[in-house]
Structure 1
Amino acid sequence: MRSLLFAGGGRKVHSEFALLCCECSLCSLYSCPEGLNPREVCVSAKSDLREMKVNFRNSALNTGAAPVPHPVRDERKVPVSKLVKRLGLAEYNADAPYLEHGYKPARVRIQLSQHIGVPCSPKVAVGQKVAKGEAVGDLPADKLGCPVHASIAGKISRINDRYIEIEA
């Protein structure tokens, strides 16, 4: 924020320290005493640096040495209770009672692509009965991904390239 002040608003300021910003908004929501939005400045600077093909690996911040935490890191942590109060959320911070209700869906659709990897292939057929927790979709051993499982016991009613439908 200070580098922006001294450089003037019309010029692009490319502080490489913006590369260290994780965009959590703590600086904007809690730390800035002026009520400014440093997060947006860092996001903008990171975008400008990206256009200039500057990243952490080729920046002056990368000394090649293993990173060492600041000696007073533990004392700089923000107490969650203070953050909740400053954000005006304290009145919502109440214990909610746990309500046990026996919701039993009549039908579920198990998506075959629930992850970054390869979509699963159905391992079951229409009309087949399955138990809760049983694998209903799998993939070849040489592919990256995870099998999918039945969330309820029931009968397979529909299979397509996107999901497997199970009726209780």
Structure 2
Amino acid sequence: MGLITRVFSDSSYSGIRIVVTTVKGIIMIPIITNLLGADSYGIWSTLLAFVVLFSTTGSVHLDGALIRFSTNQNKEQTYSDILIITLILASSISSLVFILGIVFEPNTLFNGSNNINSNFELTIVTALLIFSEIIYRVNVNFPRALGEVKLYELIRSGRAILEIIFVSIIFIYGRN
């Protein structure tokens, strides 16, 4: 396959992922605001902002290092080394968020909103989301490091679709 054909082929998969991600945003906002209200959407947005901030900072862009250093002969060894470092960082950052969540109650961030069942539950969910996001970033970039861009884009598209399905089910049936 020629370079131009491969670039257009990979770009089409990237385009599909961008469309799926955009549709995810368009679908999720009305679901959250209509079923739970604007204050719950604010809590949702704040929670995701914390997750993105801590997972991006906490991962110290090891997924980029995986791509950069996987040109070595032993790609699996590079992957396992970076994964171990990532696990240590993810555990540390998640523990830090958990401790900060216990010390500084999340209710103070949300002005005593009644939609939060438990400060402890919110803290645990945030810490687990941060941990899983850091691990996800390294694992999803392994196919990309191997040059399998289509698989990389399919995994990211699949995650967006699964997020739409599971979050919709949780909000529609749980209403919380």
Please say whether Structure 1 and Structure 2 have the same fold, judged by a TM-score greater than 0.5: no
Whose helix proportion is higher, 1 or 2? 2
With the length of structure 2 as denominator, give the TM-score of the two structures: 0.21
Higher relative contact order structure (alpha carbons within 8 Å, sequence separation ≥ 6) = 2
Whose strand proportion is higher, 1 or 2? 1
Which entry has the higher C-alpha Rg, 1 or 2?
Answer: 1
With the length of structure 1 as denominator, give the TM-score of the two structures: 0.22
